[in-house]
Amino acid sequence: MPQPSHDPMQMLASMFEAGQEVMRKMAGAQPPAGASATGDAANPFLAAARQFADMQQAWLKATSAATSAEKGAPDPFAPFMASAQQFGEMQKRMLDGLSAFRFDVEGAGAGATEDKRFAGEAWRKDPRYAALSKAYLAYADFLHKSVDAVPVDERARAQMRFGVRQAIDAMSPSNFFLTNPEAAQLALETGGRSLTEGVSLFMRDLAKGRVLMTDEAAFEVGKNVGTTPGSVIFENELMQVIQYTPTTSEVFERPLVMIPPCINKFYILDLQPDNSFVANAVAQGHTVFLVSWRNVTEKQGALTWDDYVRDGVLTAIDIARAVSGSGQVNALGFCVGGTLLGTAAGVLAANDEHKLTSLTLLTTLLDFYETGEIGLLVTEESVRAREAAIGRGGILPAKEMGFIFSSLRANDLIWQYVVNSYLKGKAPPAFDLLYWNSDSTNLSGPMACWLLRNGYLENKLREPGKLLVCNVPLDLADVKLPAYLYASREDHIVPWKTAFVAKHLLGGDSTFVLGASGHIAGVINPPAKNKRNYWIEGTPAEEADEWFAGARSVPGSWWPHWSEWLARHAGERVPAPARPGNENYRVIEPAPGRYVMAKAD
């Protein structure tokens, strides 16, 4: 094999050119006489793929070395390149293993057609590709069953399943140009243009240090996302408070304070006019105050969980009370914003302060007894390492958190974009929700470590008196407020059965609602689209399954149901405020404000 050039673009061009040549030869080859859809039919194919894997690894090594040499400093993309090199090595090991191992692939035929990665006609019409996909699925099944047979406790087995699934997903033939017939066919049909586009997209993502999932140039915060009119009336080191402009002549006397997650930007609640949760609440007559968290840097790296509660949630509540003139407010928290709000409600209860009328918690963990696959990544050793590194100061980078969340659904959030962008040269389409998902934020180290230890690892928030927050012991049973608890049935970040437990932790009357779909799509489900469904009025029970058995399914969005519930706690109608803020909280700038504009990249 010729030595790779030291110019990355030339090396990419050479690699793809050689790959096309191999593909042309294989496209003209005929399967052995009498060959059936077994591993044997794919052996010549696998041999060529191993050659291509060798070339791929050589390019990755040369590119990393060339980049370091050119800059005279450590390669800034070294972690990215190392991961890509490991991917190439895993592919090669998988290909070697498939050649040597004999599977009963006939039973895998149905799986190959049901798996969307191999559902295309190109995977079925050539017996070599059909054999490869079947062999891969059989190999994957073999590895999964091997994990199930290991004599370890269930948590260790679940951790092993997660790790094995990551490796299996990465090794899929669909992720590899020469073993992806759809990519190869497209390259031939376009005369290699798809490969050229793929190179361009790869270099774009390489520069950003992440795989893009949407056309980020199509969106701009304040222009076509996060556009609901309003004003920033307060800011501190941690957050800004936005007061939204009323669209009704009268409003409810008690305002609504929204606490979004601090892991991403607030505009998940204000995407575009037709799917804005904020705009919907304003249209119902609520005066909405919203926290816009700062994308923290090293300067804010010493902020603690107490700071987020005191200088974030509790400060926003006091500002809404002062501006509206209402002694009490309704409050809503989403995801970790809900955990912060629940903690703040516990602080208020411990101090015998009655500033809240109701709580709405969307996909929120208060009890961390079962946290899905995220919890599998949290161990005593990993938390200690975090605490040693950033527990007293520093940041948990947005890119790292983004990768962790994407890895929970790697085929959907990583590999499909690798295949479509790099192998097929198809830039991802514009999608507001995925744009928001990519616009993640850093967290302060002490705050993140508190959540990891006291939530995910030791689950202390649920235990009365176990935690001191803002110098008071917490007992969620003292939060005797009406609460609206929403969970999503397919949520892989906040499992709905765990979110259900909050119903029994809080001391007030709780209404539990279960929506269809996942962590974000289930929440952002505007009524006008008439999509999905939700479940209410389940059997009064301690266990989630028993509640669900008696629940009633309602078609469409859960937003109107919540609006009716909230109206009962919002007080009388009063004239809408003529201007935002007051003499103590003057307008600083228009919404969405400066803080949301700061990028983590």
3-state secondary structure of 268: helix
CA 440 from centre of chain: 9
Q: Is the pTM of this model over 0.85?
A: no
**pLDDT value at position 454?**
97
**pLDDT value at position 62?**
54
Instruction: Give me the residues paired with residue 250 across strands.
Output: 575
**pLDDT value at position 38?**
39
Instruction: Give me the residues paired with residue 514 across strands.
Output: 487, 535
CB 273 within 8 A of CB 311: no
Name which of 555, 576, 267, 272 is nearest 438 in CA terms. 267
For the cut 60, the answer to whether the pLDDT of residue 37 exceeds it is: no
Mean pLDDT of 494-504: 96
Q: How confident is the model at residue 86 (pLDDT cuts 50, 70, 90)?
A: low
Interior/surface letters 172-185, b for 16+ CB within 10 angstroms, e for the rest: bbbbbbbbbbbbbb
Mean pLDDT of 487-492: 95
Q: List phi, psi (to 5°) of 294.
A: -80, 145
Pick the CATH number of 230-391+428-597 from 3.40.50.1820, 2.120.10.30, 1.10.4080.10, 3.10.20.30: 3.40.50.1820
Q: For residue range 184-203, list pLDDT tens digits in order.
A: 999 999 999 999 999 899 88
**pLDDT value at position 392?**
95
Domain edges within the chain:
8-177, 230-391+428-597
CB 445 within 8 A of CB 472: no
Instruction: Give me the residues paired with residue 97 across strands.
Output: none
Q: For residue range 144-194, list pLDDT tens digits in order.
A: 888 888 888 888 888 888 888 888 888 889 998 888 999 999 999 999 999
CA distance 507 to 486: 17
CA distance 428 to 218: 11
Contacts 24+ apart (CB under 8 A), 309-312: 309/340, 309/343, 309/344, 309/347, 309/469, 309/470, 310/347, 310/470, 311/236, 311/237, 311/238, 311/239, 312/238, 312/239, 312/259, 312/262, 312/340
CA 556 from centre of chain: 24
Q: Is 345 left (phi over 0), alpha (psi -120 to 50) or beta?
A: alpha
**pLDDT value at position 112?**
56
For the cut 50, the answer to whether the pLDDT of residue 455 exceeds it is: yes
Q: How many CB atoms lie within 10 A of CB 377?
A: 16
CA distance 178 to 88: 13
For the cut 60, the answer to whether the pLDDT of residue 212 exceeds it is: yes
3-state secondary structure of 337: helix
Q: How confident is the model at residue 322 (pLDDT cuts 50, 70, 90)?
A: very high
**pLDDT value at position 373?**
83
Mean pLDDT of 482-504: 96
Q: How confident is the model at residue 377 (pLDDT cuts 50, 70, 90)?
A: confident
CA distance 267 to 289: 13
**pLDDT value at position 42?**
46
3-state secondary structure of 263: coil
Helix axes 154-170, 127-149, angle to 10 degrees: 160
3-state secondary structure of 297: coil
3-state secondary structure of 169: helix
Is 470 a known active-site residue? no
Q: What is the DSSP string of 61-115?
A: HHHHHHHHHHHTS--TTHHHHHHHHHHHHHHHHHHHHHHH----GGGGHHHHHHS
User: C-alpha distances in angstroms, 70 versus 8, 109, 203?
Assistant: 12, 49, 17
